Amino acid sequence: MRQFIYCILFLGLSVGFSGCKKDSKPEDSFIKIYDDQNGNKHFHPLGMTTAESNDGYIVISAYDGWRIQLMKIDNTGEFVWNYELPSNYVNAVPGLLKINGQNYLVCMDAVGLFTYILKIDEAAHTTTEISSFSNVLYPTAAYNSGQNMYIQNYDRLSYKTGIHRLSGDMSAIEQSGSVDIFTDVEERIVNHVTYNGNRIPFFVRSTPEQDYIVMNGFYNYSFSMIFLNPDLSFAGAYNGAGFNGGLSALSPLGASRFALARFSYDNLYYNPGVALNPTAIDIAESIPAQGNSELASEKPVLIRDISISDKAYKVYLSSTRSNQLLVSVYDPATGGLVGKKYLGKNVPITACDLIQTEDEGLNILVQVKIMGNLDRIGLIKLSKAEAEAIVD
């Protein structure tokens, strides 16, 4: 009996001493939601990019309407630091700009409505003002083509959509162009920048040949996709159905071919490979595309280039009407759908950004509505195996 008691004691002590918890370990696949105790704070993630030191990711989000928060997370999605920008910096445009390995953001002055460019100082967990452009009001999009950086804006005084190419050090505007809207859209712009209602899918892109700049903005009484020449003069446009239709997302393929998503009222349409004429004046609804009735047209659509098993794909990320995410992967050569995956259950999730990770997985930045009303920043990581399973 004594031996038995010793045996039980030994076993019990072994369990007890080994019962101390260890830290979480990295995972290939995970869901993380970043907490904030303030129940009245609503976050709208705007974009993510790799950290300057390549040891994680920088996430930019809007909160309390148009205020700006930066957050750094590590490669496993664990929180590192966050920084709420001073209240004069508001309305960050979606996405972060990586220039020479450093991350920048474009935002607006809360009073003057003009544009700032801020550099993210990851070491000090803050930002540094690089430049401001007092004549560029209401910035709506920014884009780094690899050769030039562009800022799109709405000029409330002249009712124009403007586009500006910056100098290499981003201290000055080298070239500007604009198109006439012919009507006041400031109420729509204000609702957009304050997150009061649906967001407007502004964007700027360039063709791989750098022969055209493409921007999505207001033009000629409508929400339109506008082709611009390298000198930012008007080349052509695909006009939306007034303000109720147009392009949701665009990814140039080269040789005047594009992968795009377009919306018309509450319907969303995909075409992963369509030829467009940059000098045409046409309507966006004439672009052939496959409708997908389960998708929510008012939510962001992202089109990204990814590589799975050393093969290049176009991936579409969108939100469904049933509050899931839909990842659709297309072969860019044929335009054929090679696989899709639904993410999320029961809780509203909105797609915000998508990037491929170094380990060939996918990081999907989302807005998650937890406990029914708390909009929080979320990150869904798909492992390499899960990404491969989509196209198998």
Partner 1 sequence: MFTKTLLFILVLSFSRHLLAQNYNVYRQQKMYVGLTGGINFGGAKVVEDYHVLVNTPQSSTTGQEKKYESLGQNKGSQFGLYFSYSFTRKLSFVFEPSFQTTSFNYATAYSWSDTVNGSDFNMEMMHQQKLSGVNLPLLARYDFTFSQFSPYVQGGIFMNFGRHARKTIFYDHTIDNDVDKETADQTGEADLTKHLNKANFGLSAGAGFTYFANYFAISLESNFRYGFRSMVNDENRYADYTGFSVQYLDVMDQLKLFNLDIQLSIMFPIDNSISLRILRQSRY
Q: Are strands 281-283 and 234-239 parallel, antiparallel or unpaired?
A: parallel
- Among residues 31 and 338, whose Cβ is nearest to partner 1? 31
Q: Whole-number minimum distance, CB 330 to partner 1, in Å?
A: 25
- In the bound complex, what is the minimum distance in angstroms from residue 320's beta carbon to partner 1? 15
Helix (H, G, I), strand (E, B) or coil at 5: helix
CA dihedral 216, 103, 106, 109 (to 10 degrees): 170
Provide, rounded to whole angstroms, the least separation between the CB of residue 73 and partner 1.
8
Question: Which residue's CB is nearer to partner 1, number 292 or number 323?
Answer: 323
What's the closest the beta carbon of residue 182 comes to partner 1, in angstroms? Answer: 41
Question: Which of 130, 347 has the CB closer to partner 1?
Answer: 347
Tokens 């809360």 — which residue? 110
CB nearer partner 1, residue 186 or residue 386? 386
Residue 57 CB, nearest approach to partner 1 (Å)? 13
Our CB check for partner 1 shows the closer of 272 and 344 to be 344
Question: 326, 280 in Cβ contact below 8 A?
Answer: no
Residue with tokens 């430049």: 131
Cβ closer to partner 1: 36 or 282? Answer: 36
Which has the closest alpha carbon to 45: 376, 299, 382? 376
Rounded CA-CA distance 40/319 in Å is: 24
Alpha-carbon distances of 240 from 192, 270, 275, 290, rounded to whole Å: 18, 15, 18, 17
Rounded CA-CA distance 199/224 in Å is 15
Taking the complex as a whole, the smallest distance from the CB of residue 378 to partner 1 amounts, in Å, to 8
* Minimum distance from residue 76 beta carbon to partner 1 (Å): 10
Q: Which of 119, 176, 108, 116 is nearest to 148 (CA)?
A: 176
Q: Which is nearer to partner 1, 255 or 371 (CB)?
A: 371
Asked if residues 308 and 387 have their Cβ atoms less than 8 Å apart, the reply is: yes
Separation between Cα atoms, residue 239 and residue 285, nearest integer Å: 8
- Name the site residues for partner 1 (rule: CB under 8 A): 1, 3-4, 7-8, 11-12, 15, 18-19, 21-25, 27, 29-40, 71, 77-79, 82, 344-347, 349, 368, 370-371, 374, 378, 385
By residue count, the chain amounts to 392
